[in-house]
A = this chain, B = another copy of it.
Amino acid sequence: MIKPKQRLPDRKSKVTVREVALQADVSESTVSRIMRNQGLVAEATRAKVMEAVRALGYVPNRIAGSLASLDSQLVGVVVPSLSNIVFPEVLQGINAGLKASNYQSVISISDYDIDREETLVRGILAWQPAAILITGFDHTVATRRMLDQSGVRVVEMMDIDSAPIDVAVGMSHRRAGYAAGQYLIGKGYRRFGYVGHDWTADRRARLRYDGLSEALSEAGLSIVAHAIADGPSSVSTGREQTAQLCAMAKVDVAVYSNDDMAVGGVFYCQGAGIRMPDQLAVFGFNGLEIGRELPQPLSTVRSNRFLIGQRAIEAILSGLERPETKTTIDTGFEIYSGQTA
C-alpha cells in the first residue's frame, strides 16, 4: 500500500524542476542547464522550456541548488553597527562590488560585542558562504579558530594595523592619528584636548589616539585634557563632551574620535559663540558629508569606506581558494584641511 507523501502542508502548489520538465517534455537536467545558462542547448528546447517556466512561474530553489553543487553563492558580512553611517557606506561598496556577480550578501550586526560576533559568525558559516567579510581584528579565540578552519576566504575590513587571517582591507588608523598630530603641530597648535567615546568597543579609535599621542610626544607635547564618554559616538555626545573639555582646561585644539563627535563639537562652539579655529580648533576623523557641508567645513582625515567594501569584494572574487600568503590592501587616507583647524 502506497502512502501519499504528506510532510508540511505546502503553502502553495510548489513548482519544481520536475513540473517544468513534465510540462516542457524534457528531462530535469535540461531544465537545470537552461536555468543556469550552462552547457549547449538547442534554441527550440530553450524556448519550449522557458515558456513552461513562465507559465508555471517557476523559481529555482537555491537551497537545493547550493546543496547539490556544494556552492552557496553567499557572502557573509559582519559589521559592528549601522548607526554610524560609515558601516552602511562599507555595505554600499560591498553591494556595488557584488552587483555584477551572482553572489548574495548576508549581513549581521554585532553591536560591537565580540561574543555576539562569535555567534553571528557561527550562524553565517552554517550557510557555507564562499567568503566572510568581518570588521577589524578584534575577535574571540573561537571566532578566529572557526574562521581559520572553515577554509573560506576571510576579509578583515577597516583596519590594516595587524596581521590578517587571510586578507585585510582598510587603512592604518595609527598612521592616520599620527598624521593628524603632525598636521596640527605644523599648524602651530600646542595645547591639545581629546574628545572621545568608548575605546574598549572601538579599537580603531584607540589606534588613532595612540598615533596622535606618538606624534605629540615626538614634538615634546602631550594631550592636556581628555573628555571621554562611555557609550558609542554621536553628535550629542560630542557636543556634551566638548562642553566638559572646555570647562576642564584651556586648550587650543580639540581632536575628536570621529566626525560625528566633532560635528557635535562644532555645534557646541556655534551655540556658545566660540570662534573656530582661533578660539578653539576642531579636528575630526572620517570625512563625512555632513562635515564638508558645514558653513565652515570640518577639518578631518578622510577615509574611503565605500572603497573598502568594494576592494574587499574584489579581493575575494579574484580567487575563491584561500591562498597561502596573507594580503593587506591599503585604501589610504588624506588630511582634509577644512576651516576648523
CB-CB < 8 A to A247: which residues of B? none
**Shortest Cβ distance from A237 into B: residue:** B293
Q: Closest CB of chain B to A108's CB: distance in Å?
A: 8
Residues 115-158 of chain A: 1 if any B CB is under 8 Å from the residue's CB, otherwise 0? 00000001111111000000000000000011001111000000
Task: Tally chain A residues at the interface, Cβ within 8 Å.
Answer: 62
Contacts A63-B128, A88-B88, A109-B95 hold; do A234 and B289 have CB atoms under 8 A apart?
yes
Q: Closest CB of chain B to A119's CB: distance in Å?
A: 10
A85 lies within 8 A of chain B by Cβ: yes
A271 lies within 8 A of chain B by Cβ: yes
How many protomers of this protein does the assembly include?
2
CB-CB < 8 A to A152: which residues of B? 11
Which of A63, A95, A128, A146 has the most CB atoms of chain B within a 10 A radius of its CB?
Answer: A63
In whole angstroms, how far apart are the Cα atoms of A85 and B260 in the complex? 13
B72 touches A146 (CB 8 A): no
17 A-B pairs with CB atoms under 8 Å apart are A7-B70, A59-B122, A59-B125, A59-B126, A61-B126, A61-B128, A63-B72, A63-B127, A63-B128, A67-B67, A83-B89, A88-B88, A104-B127, A106-B106, A106-B107, A234-B289, A267-B293
